[in-house]
Amino acid sequence: MKKLPSLAASVLGITLGILSSSIYANPPVPAFYTNVMKMAPQGKLGQVITKERITTSVKGAQAWKIAYISSDLEGRKTISTGLIVVPVGQAPVGDRPIMAWAHGTTGAAQSCGPSQILDPAVPLNEYFLVGGNSWTDYGVPRLEEFIKEGYVVIATDYQGLGGGGVHQYGVAATQSRDLINSVRAASSMKEAGAGKKAVAYGWSQGGGATLAAASSPEYIAQTGTAADGIEFVGFVGLAPYDMAVDMPKGNIDQATADKVMGELKSAFSTDILSFAHFSMALYGTQAASPHLKLSDVLTDEGVKVIQEVYGSKCVHAAADTLVFTYGKDFARLLKAQPTNTLAWVQAFTKSSVAPVTPVAPVVIYWGTKDTTEPPIQGKLYQIQMCKSGANVMRVQLPGEQTHFTTPGTAGPLFQDWIKDRLAGKPATNNCAMAEQLPS
């Protein structure tokens, strides 16, 4: 187990991920979403409460925006929006498998849902890479290939990113439920021709949601949903995060909690994007846990600014606003001495991946040059889960892959892995050498 200083270098390092809705600024929320935000979160888990057909440039595909019923880590009903892409034509006998995508960091405002862009049903296009044609990432990895294979692809926006309510950013336990319920939504939608078998795949923030979904057997097995009996046959984590795996174990004391929060504060005050992710995680965790107060960690000015900025802007625009307003002095929005630290550390742990044996094989792909989400978290996750008898494979990508080259480089590998899971082939793992594998 690594020491606490290295904890601060990786916990909450939930990455930049998929898009805001415009190249230059966050636009007004489109009418589909404003209408959804007026709806009450009533219905069965996974129930599609409204949908809108949209165009897609992917050959042989048809697509819809949808809104469906989900719930958060406390069991409170929510509404999540998302995107579903389906092959054209009649579904084959046995129905179509479901690929459930969990995106990376977009932000916390209602305008930050990936399905809100003009042409969301496209392959992944990344902001940081040469060839990226937007100021942020958008699209779905391997979308064209999955449609050719005859799969249904469902991509959740998560709660709070177009469906109303405050987005519980970084709360993997909530985002995992949005992911699971997206499969129920796809399976229940007649136009999709989808069956019950599914594979979840996610990157960064979505990687954490994917791991958390894998360890949610009771939630997956619930009955009385829009589609009972869904079956996950595999989970793919692309540079995933796992907040809990790095946290001190057992009943921690006040001194340890103070130390953890102090280290997090220091580690995430080094640059504006680190601070943006940390402060947005505070914003999201407080939304999930109302007994917490932002004023425990932020100054009065910090509370006001953070609520206003993250309530209206997506991640890159929010970071730009903070650096424009405060320059290198953005850390002044944090209190010198946080209070209620024990409750915050407990909430961070509860909101992350539960230490429960995954319901199906898990594969993790990582790059040696990933400094955004340090691969040590994936290694610690594998060690922890393999000890419980889980089937977890961890794959180092060839060459020097960064956080942002991981999805593209891993794509052909996880596509073949998924084919094998759907074919019922046994999954191999490297659990026996987990502790010796590089990190």
pLDDT digits 0-9 by tens, 235-283:
999 999 898 888 888 889 999 999 999 988 888 888 888 899 899 999 9
Euclidean distance between CA atoms 360 and 153, whole angstroms: 19
Residue 13 pLDDT class (50, 70, 90 cuts)? very low
pLDDT given at position 319: 92
Are 344 and 408 in contact by the 8 Å Cβ rule? The answer is no
pLDDT given at position 213: 98
Best CATH choice for the domain 31-244+356-436 from the list 1.10.3720.10, 3.40.190.10, 3.40.50.920, 3.40.50.1820 = 3.40.50.1820
387-433 residue pLDDT tens? 999 999 999 999 999 999 999 999 999 999 999 999 999 999 999 99
The domain spans of the chain are: 4-10+247-350, 31-244+356-436
Higher-pLDDT residue of 271 and 65 is: 65
State the helix-helix crossing angle for 272-288 and 300-310, rounded to 10 degrees: 90
pLDDT given at position 164: 97
List the single range of 10-19, 96-105, 166-175, 309-318 with lowest mean pLDDT: 10-19
* Statement: residue 366 has pLDDT above 50: yes
pLDDT given at position 15: 34
Average pLDDT over the chain, rounded to an integer: 91
Could you please report the per-residue DSSP string of 102-170? E--B-BSSGGG-GGGSSS-SSB-B-TTSTT--SSSBBSBTTHHHHHHHT-EEEEEEEETSSSSS---TT
Mean pLDDT of 80-92: 95
Euclidean distance between CA atoms 298 and 386, whole angstroms: 38
Mean pLDDT of 161-173: 97
List the single range of 241-250, 362-371, 373-382 with lowest mean pLDDT: 241-250
Residues 6 or more apart whose Cβ sits within 8 Å of residue 219: 176, 177, 180
Alpha helices in 198-297 (DSSP H): 205-214, 217-220, 254-267, 272-288
Mean pLDDT of 340-351: 95
Burial of 402 (0-12, 13-18, 19+ CB in 10 A): middle
Residue 122 pLDDT class (50, 70, 90 cuts)? very high
* Statement: residue 302 has pLDDT above 90: yes
26-36 residue pLDDT tens? 457 899 999 99
48-63 residue pLDDT tens? 999 999 999 999 999 9
Q: Tell me the three state secondary structure of residue 366.
A: strand
Could you please report the per-residue DSSP string of 57-104? -STTEEEEEEEEEEE-TT--EEEEEEEEEEESSPPPTT-EEEEEEE--
* Statement: residue 11 has pLDDT above 50: no
pLDDT given at position 9: 39
* Statement: residue 66 has pLDDT above 90: yes
Residues 6 or more apart whose Cβ sits within 8 Å of residue 298: 279, 282, 306, 333, 334, 335
pLDDT given at position 131: 79
* Statement: residue 10 has pLDDT above 60: no
Residue 6 pLDDT class (50, 70, 90 cuts)? very low
Q: Name the token pair of 276.
A: 């943006």
List the single range of 88-102, 113-127, 151-165, 278-292 with lowest mean pLDDT: 113-127
Euclidean distance between CA atoms 381 and 245, whole angstroms: 6
List the single range of 74-78, 128-132, 229-233 with lowest mean pLDDT: 128-132
Closest CA to 330 of 354, 313, 311, 305: 305
Are 211 and 109 in contact by the 8 Å Cβ rule? The answer is no
Global pTM reads 0.92
Out of 27-41, 168-182, 362-376, the most confident range is 168-182
Higher-pLDDT residue of 216 and 373 is: 216
pLDDT given at position 198: 98
pLDDT given at position 248: 86
Euclidean distance between CA atoms 229 and 40, whole angstroms: 26
Apex 155 CA angle, 63 and 21, nearest 5: 80
Closest CA to 17 of 169, 177, 127: 127
pLDDT given at position 207: 98
Q: Name the token pair of 314.
A: 């997506």
Are 202 and 103 in contact by the 8 Å Cβ rule? The answer is yes
Enumerate the β-bridge partners of residue 411.
none
Euclidean distance between CA atoms 396 and 362, whole angstroms: 14
pLDDT given at position 23: 34
Residues 6 or more apart whose Cβ sits within 8 Å of residue 333: 279, 298, 299, 301, 302, 305, 306, 326
pLDDT given at position 422: 97
Torsion of CA 222, 227, 230, 235, to 10 degrees: -90
pLDDT given at position 374: 83
Task: List the end-to-end C-alpha distance of the chain, in Å, as a whole number.
Answer: 12
Closest CA to 169 of 161, 370, 177: 161
Are 61 and 193 in contact by the 8 Å Cβ rule? The answer is no
* Statement: residue 5 has pLDDT above 90: no
Measure CA 398 to chain center: 24
Are 44 and 224 in contact by the 8 Å Cβ rule? The answer is yes
Phi/psi for 258 (5° steps) reads -60, -40
Q: Which residue has the tokens 């850390």?
A: 331
* Statement: residue 220 has pLDDT above 60: yes
pLDDT given at position 14: 37
Apex 171 CA angle, 376 and 138, nearest 5: 80
pLDDT given at position 91: 87
The one-letter code for the residue type at 412 is P
Are 82 and 65 in contact by the 8 Å Cβ rule? The answer is yes
